[in-house]
Chains A and B, each alone.
Chain A
Amino acid sequence: MAVKSNLLNMSLMLTLTCLVCSAILGGAYVITKDPIDAAKAAKTNKAVSAVLPLFDDAQKGETALRDEASGEEKPYVYYKAVKDDELVGYAIESSVSGFGGELKVLVGFTPDGKIFDTDVLVNNETPGLGAKCAESESVFRRQWKGFDPKVKMLSVKKEGGDIDAITASTITSKAYTQAVYNAVQVFDALNGEAADAATGVSVHPKEGGQSNE
């Protein structure tokens, strides 16, 4: 190296390098901010449109519901979709512990409480077995389209419910069903609030909901 390593030179070099790099990165951030935001919005829209009918706009919201099993407040992210100012439905992100890790399901509800469709956001299940839950064309996934939790039971057939589990992946299937069940709870709470807001009455989230286990 041609330059001596004394304190002045080292400090100078380091400071200079950091300043120049930060400046360039700051500039790059500003330039790419809009495309990045647009890409993120497009991604959300794409995910939500997979589980709900056509809509113009989806607003993100957050709510919390007390988990029956642990008694703790669990946060939920949801999207309220509207078209021409009319409510199209809610898409609710529901996360549970699956066979191999987190299983996050996006459940789309139409205002009448029926499930329009579901999709998998995060999946750590075994490839070839539980991971089949992420294949939208699979038998397991197709049974969720138009599923009405008020009429059908939200548990696997082995336990007296109406859900066909994936062969040899009972644990994944049960987890998925649990995620949907939780989403139904959240939907009931949201729908209850919306209905109450229309009439001017506020009520706290109900526990238990309308579906049975």
Chain B
Amino acid sequence: MSKLKLLTDGFIKNNPTFVLLLGMCPTLATTTSAVNGLSMGLATLFVLVLSNIVISLIAPVTPDKVHIPVYIVVIASFVTLLQFIMQAYTPSMYETLGLFIPLIVVNCIVLGRAEAFASKNGVWASTLDGIGVGLGFTLSLTVLGAVREMLGSGSIFGWKFITGDGMLAFVMAPGAFLCLGYLMVLFNKIAKK
């Protein structure tokens, strides 16, 4: 498979949010604004790429029966590393994303790609796959966050274009589900062409 295809597949054909329907929990919870969605996506991307690399390296020497705990320890370590970095250098975003940063450990996307791809392919391919899927995830989260922010707070990336509040439902759970549903329809319609 061409290496470039690995990258672009993660965007559309294998888009984790709108096609694979993975990682729904952080998707719905952290997309209250475009910046939050973007940060969450990038945080996941960081963990995804690094764990893909390491797992593709150690997979050949990992006994089959313990491969899940071993992978999880690796993933959890990268998440902890991410936590240290965010706490030290981006404290306000760390507070905003809160609980969902450690939850990256159990984000299906990470373990899913590790099992489905990284454990069976070489380092370079796994890296590209991680970047591709991670960027696809970041893209969906940013788009969803932007839509919710526009409808719910009347702003884009923090720049408000109305006074007062928007439709508050979109800043809360119901709006998240509604937006996700309609975006999924739109995405799949465009992707089919």
| A–B: direct contact at CB < 8 Å | yes
Question: Using a CB–CB distance below 8 Å, which chain A residues touch chain B?
Answer: 1-6, 9-10, 13-14, 17-18, 21, 24-25, 28-29, 32, 35-36, 39-40, 42-43, 127-128
Do A13 and B84 have beta carbons less than 8 Å apart? no
Are B63 and A10 in contact, CB atoms less than 8 angstroms apart?
yes
Asked if B24 CB lies within 8 Å of chain A CBs, one says no
Nearest-CB distance from A134 to chain B (Å)?
Answer: 13
Contact of A127 among B69, B77, B85, B171 (CB under 8 A): B171
Which residues of A lie under 8 Å from residue B62 when comparing CB positions? 1, 3, 13
Among all A-B residue pairs, the 9 with the closest Cβ atoms:
A35-B88, A5-B63, A21-B77, A5-B65, A39-B91, A1-B64, A32-B84, A32-B88, A9-B63
* Mask of B152-180 contacts with A, CB within 8 angstroms, 1/0: 00000000000001001001100000000
Total residues of chain B contacting the partner, CB 8 A: 28
Chain A residue at minimal CB-CB distance from B64: A1
- With a cutoff of 8 Å between Cβ atoms, the chain A residues found around residue B89 in the complex are 35, 39
B87's nearest neighbour on chain A, judged by CB, is A36
**Centre residue among A24, A36, A43 by max chain B CB count within 10 A:** A36
Q: A32 near B66 (CB under 8 angstroms)?
A: no
Interface residues, chain B, with chain A CB atoms under 8 Å away: 58-67, 69-70, 73-74, 76-77, 80-81, 84-85, 87-89, 91, 165, 168, 171-172
Are A128 and B60 touching (Cβ within 8 A)? no
Q: List 28 A-B contacts (CB under 8 A).
A: A1-B63, A1-B64, A2-B60, A3-B60, A3-B62, A5-B63, A5-B65, A5-B66, A6-B63, A10-B63, A10-B65, A10-B66, A13-B63, A17-B70, A17-B73, A25-B81, A28-B80, A28-B81, A35-B89, A36-B84, A39-B87, A39-B88, A39-B91, A40-B91, A43-B91, A127-B165, A127-B168, A127-B171
Tell me the nearest residue of chain A to B71, going by C-beta.
A17
In the complex, residue of chain B having the shortest beta-carbon distance to the beta carbon of A4: B63
CA distance A17 to B171 in the complex (A): 41
| Shortest Cβ gap from B33 to chain A (Å) | 13
A169 to B172, CA, bound (A): 19
A13-B91 CB under 8 A given contacts A2-B61, A29-B84, A36-B84: no
Give chain A nearest CB distance to B31 CB in angstroms.
16
Residues of chain A contacted by B165 (CB below 8 angstroms): 127-128
Q: Could you tell me if A1 and B84 are in contact, using CB atoms closer than 8 angstroms?
A: no
A residues near B69, Cβ cutoff 8 Å:
14
Q: A1-B64, A1-B67, A18-B73 are in contact. Are A32 and B85 (CB under 8 A)?
A: yes
Q: How far is the CA of A29 from the CA of B165 in the complex (A)?
A: 41
Complexed CA–CA distance, A5 and B58 (Å):
15
A128 to B152, CA, bound (A): 11
**A1 proximity list for chain B (CB < 8 A):** 59-60, 62-64, 67
- Give A138 to B85 CA distance when docked, in angstroms: 35
Q: Note all chain B residues with C-beta closer than 8 A to A29.
A: 84
Minimum C-beta distance from A42 to chain B (A): 8
Q: Which residues of the other chain, A, contact B59 by a CB distance below 8 angstroms?
A: 1
For B74, give its contact among A17, A28, A43 (CB under 8 Å): A17
* Chain B positions within 8 Å of A18 at CB level: 73
Which among A4, A6, A13, A24 has the greatest number of chain B C-beta atoms within 10 A? A13
In the complex, the chain A residue whose C-beta lies closest to that of B80 is A25
Q: Which residues of A contact B85 (CB under 8 A)?
A: 32
A24 engages B77 (CB within 8 Å): yes
Across-interface contacts of A39 in B (CB, < 8 A): 87-89, 91
A126's nearest neighbour on chain B, judged by CB, is B168
CB of A127 within 8 A of CB of B172, answer yes
